[in-house]
Amino acid sequence: MTEIIDGNAVASEIRSEISGCVETLTEAGVTPGLATVLMSDDPASETYVSMKQQDCEEVGINGIHVEIEPDAPSEELFETIDRLNDDPEVHGILVQLPVPDHVDKRAVIRAIDPAKDVDGFHPENVGRLVAGDARFKPCTPHGVQKLLEAYEIDTEGADAVVVGRSDIVGKPLANLLIQKAPQGNATTTVCHSRTDDLAAKTSTADIVIAAAGVPELIDGSMLKEGATVIDVGVNRVDADTDKGYKLVGDVDYESAKSVAGAITPVPGGVGPMTRAMLLYNTVAAASDHHDIEIELP
Ligand code: NAD
């Protein structure tokens, strides 16, 4: 029987533990605060940000939202970041990516105070993660690790293949999997758009993590019997639905499910975990800043 890895259930447990952490902090006089900044009128970005704000409200985190017109000068965004960096009520800052073309994305990431960089994208935090001393693990890779932990999928000595080398998913995830640490110690191969013969790599892996943004790139024929398959991909494909599209992962779920030992669905796999880990990082930032001990999940 293939185990279906239920991201909603694991995320819900983590969120309830985070609520407890928020309570502890609040009793100590600190309400964790997360600022989201949106400089885009892309409907998907708007939805992501509003979901993040809703998540904050549910666990008692103080959500602050700032919107900047997409055609505003980039200085407006940098001034906003400076103000949030200085605001003692704000413990985490998330600038929703992508930013418009006239804004230098790397400069935006560098402008955020690393101690408030709950996405974990600032070079200081990337460096710390690579060095095995992570301050904030980026939310999606961290969520994947938590799923593996929850389902007792042993990464120690396992052959893991990460498909995708982005700064937000593939690279940090591969770095976490090779750490000498829990949910690490895997022999990790990173595949990408120039990989020659992807199937040759995935078909020998114990764990395949797909983060390519290519609909149903990986099917059952590319997997080893009993492999764990974590599908990070979220892709809109045309479909005969009310919205005119449906969401699919980077894995062809039906064919992969017939071969895999455990698999995440899309939606309901990694997505809810990413959202939960943002709350985790925000609470961790507040606890660090005020030196208040909490028990994070
Ligand atoms: P990205 O476009 O920045 O990176 C994609 C990576 O995949 C690149 O490194 C590229 O080299 C690689 N790639 C592309 N085509 C490939 C192919 N044919 N074979 C092998 N590798 C290939 O994307 P991203 O931001 O890392 O996101 C990846 C996917 O994950 C997207 O579908 C995105 O929507 C989704 N995502 C989901 C969550 C979540 O919470 N579920 C979070 C972040 C991203």
Q: Which residues 6+ apart lie within 8 Å of 209 measured at CB?
A: 144, 160, 161, 162, 163, 173, 230, 232
pLDDT (0 to 100) of residue 91: 98
Half-sphere exposure of 173 (CA within 13 A, CB side): 34
Q: Which residues line ligand 1 (CB under 6 A)?
A: 140, 163-166, 168-170, 191-193, 195, 198, 211-214, 217, 232-235, 270-271, 274
Q: What is the pLDDT of residue 117?
A: 98
Question: What is residue 76's predicted lDDT score, i.e. its pLDDT?
Answer: 98
Among protein residues, the one whose CA lies closest to atom 17 of ligand 1:
193
Nearest to 94 by CA among 150, 139, 159, 135: 139
Most informative mutation of 119, 168, 169 for ligand 1 (most atoms within 8 A of CB): 169
55, 116, 117, 119: which is the annotated catalytic residue?
A: 119
65: left (phi over 0), alpha (psi -120 to 50) or beta: beta
Nearest one of 131, 97, 133 to 112, comparing CA atoms: 97
Q: Residue 208 Cα, ligand 1 centroid: separation in angstroms?
A: 14
Look at residue 141 in the predicted model and tell me its pLDDT: 98
Ligand 1 atom 18, closest CA: 193
pLDDT tens-place string over residues 158-170: 999 999 999 999 9
Question: pTM here?
Answer: 0.98
Tokens of 226: 């009993």
Rounded mean pLDDT for each run of 10 residues along the chain, 297 residues in total: 97 98 98 98 95 97 98 98 98 98 98 98 98 98 98 98 98 98 98 98 98 98 98 96 95 98 98 98 98 96
pLDDT value at residue 145: 98
119 is catalytic: yes
Domains of the chain in start order, with CATH, are 29-127 (3.40.50.10860), 139-271 (3.40.50.720)
64-95 tens-digit pLDDT = 999 999 999 999 999 999 999 999 999 999 99
3 CA distance to ligand 1 centroid (A)? 24
